[in-house]
């Protein structure tokens, strides 16, 4: 019997993965993992089918963390992926360490736009911010297709386990899931933000719930209006990019095509160069603006694919 991930929420209880159908919580399928596995390692091996995942990684002064971030990707059991790494004008050696790490794994990269190369890296000549990097720059360099699945991994974080991408590919197997969000590892005394969305309440009236690991179909992301990414002068917001792109995509996808994964697939790192410290004041202003903005309409896949992407440099 084929597994329909579109209508599921995934939970882990006492080492057992329970995949609950959202339409009927009494029905579930259990995937058993052995203690030696790290989180999702080995849980869904064989469920995933061949598809290309595009990892977008932004980095700024991440010299202490970039090697770990890249290694967590390069050590994945699922190998059908492409990477776009953007160094946002770091003042340390982040970019050089990134290149050395790629080479140490025996991989090659290009610094030119390409629709086929597996690893593309780029260093901005000035700090642009994650919103610009993940929209305009991503489209220019990666030349994505509508059905491509984008996985966001920051240069100071890492994937939690070696089968995370295999797990994500399995979730998208039936092509009915357009966007996912989930839980992450951090300090034990820190409040957890990852929670299921209450679809009976407008998303913009709820607290922040859509944490990492975040993934989405490109046809969904390309429908975010440039108007909602920029200020009154047309300058791209630098922070918080997760609010900027997740709110519209969740509203367009709706409950039917959104999946919450209650399992930490992601390791989150906080340090003095994090955007939430550097751009804290701007973040508060942008959040207020986004929460007051009108919601996006629920859309069909055909409507989203038909729409042309308007991501153009200011």
Which residues have a Cβ under 8 Å from the Cβ of 230 and sit 6 or more positions away? 236, 237, 314
pLDDT in tens, 284-305: 889 899 999 999 999 999 999 9
Which pLDDT belongs to residue 284? 86
Cβ–Cβ < 8 Å for 214, 134:
no
Question: What is the chain's mean pLDDT, rounded?
Answer: 84
Q: Which is higher by pLDDT, 99 or 269? A: 99
Tell me the DSSP string of 35-91.
Answer: TTS-TTTTTSTTT--S--EEEEEEESS-TTTHHHHHHHHHT-S---EEEEEEE-S-S
Report which of 215, 209, 206, 207 is spatially closest to residue 183, judged by C-alpha positions.
209
pLDDT beyond 90 at 34: no
299-303: long-range contacts (C-beta < 8 A, 24 or more apart)? 299/223, 299/252, 301/178, 301/219
Distance separating alpha carbons of residues 213 and 264, to the nearest angstrom: 8
Give the burial class of 26: count Cβ atoms within 10 A of its Cβ; 0-12 exposed, 13-18 middle, 19 or more buried. Answer: exposed
Q: Is the pLDDT of residue 77 over 90?
A: yes
How far separated are the first and last CA of the chain, in Å rounded? 50
Tell me the pLDDT tens digit for each residue of 128-154.
Answer: 999 999 999 999 999 999 999 999 999
pLDDT of residue 217: 97
More confident residue, 29 or 102: 102
Decide: helix, strand or coil at residue 305.
helix
Helices (H), 75-144: 94-104, 130-132, 138-142
Residue 212: which pLDDT band, with cuts at 50, 70 and 90? very high
- pLDDT at 40 > cutoff 50: no
Average pLDDT over residues 216-239: 93
15-24, 109-118, 144-153: which range is least confident on average?
A: 15-24
Measured distance CA(97)–CA(76) in Å, rounded: 20
- The percentage of residues in the chain with a pLDDT greater than 70, rounded to a whole number, is 80
- For the chain, list the domains and their CATH numbers: 49-306 (3.90.550.10)
Average pLDDT over residues 190-198: 77
Pick 250 or 284 by higher pLDDT: 250
- At residue 72, does pLDDT exceed 70? yes
pLDDT at 310 over 90: no
Strands (DSSP E) along the chain, which ranges? 8-13, 16-21, 24-32, 53-59, 81-87, 119-123, 149-152, 158-159, 179-185, 215-217, 258-267
pLDDT bin (cut points 50, 70, 90) of residue 158 is very high
Q: Number of C-alpha atoms within 13 angstroms, CB side, residue 115? A: 5
Question: Worst-scoring range by mean pLDDT, 51-60, 169-178, 223-232?
Answer: 169-178
């Amino acid at each position: 019997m084929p597994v329909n991930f579109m209508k599921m929420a995934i939970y882990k209880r006492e080492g057992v993965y329970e995949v609950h159908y959202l339409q009927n919580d009494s029905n579930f399928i259990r995937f058993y993992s052995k203690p030696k596995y790290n989180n999702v390692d080995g849980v869904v091996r064989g469920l995933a089918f061949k598809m290309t995942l595009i990892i977008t990684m932004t980095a700024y002064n991440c010299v202490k963390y970039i090697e770990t971030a890249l290694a967590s990707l390069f050590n994945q059991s699922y190998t059908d992926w492409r990477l776009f790494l953007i160094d946002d004008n770091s003042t340390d050696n982040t970019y050089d360490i990134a290149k050395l790490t790629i080479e140490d794994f025996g991989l090659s990269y290009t610094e030119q736009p390409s629709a086929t190369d597996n690893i593309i890296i780029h260093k901005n000549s000035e700090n642009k911010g994650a919103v610009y990097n993940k929209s305009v720059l991503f489209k220019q360099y990666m030349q994505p297709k509508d059905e491509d699945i984008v996985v966001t991994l920051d240069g100071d974080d890492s994937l939690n386990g070696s089968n995370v991408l295999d797990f994500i590919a399995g979730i998208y197997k039936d092509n009915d899931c357009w966007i996912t969000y989930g839980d992450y590892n951090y300090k034990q005394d820190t409040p957890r933000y990852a929670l299921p969305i209450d679809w009976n309440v407008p998303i913009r009236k709820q607290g922040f719930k859509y944490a990492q690991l975040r993934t989405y179909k490109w046809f969904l992301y390309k429908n975010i209006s440039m108007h909602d990414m920029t200020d009154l002068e047309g300058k791209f917001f630098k922070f918080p990019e997760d609010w900027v792109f997740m709110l519209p995509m969740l509203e367009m996808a709706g409950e039917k095509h959104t999946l919450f994964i209650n399992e930490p697939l992601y390791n989150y790192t906080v340090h003095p160069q994090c955007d939430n410290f550097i751009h804290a004041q701007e973040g508060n202003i942008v959040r207020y603006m986004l929460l007051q903005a009108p919601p996006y309409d629920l859309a069909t896949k055909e409507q989203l694919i038909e729409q042309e992407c308007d991501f153009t440099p200011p």
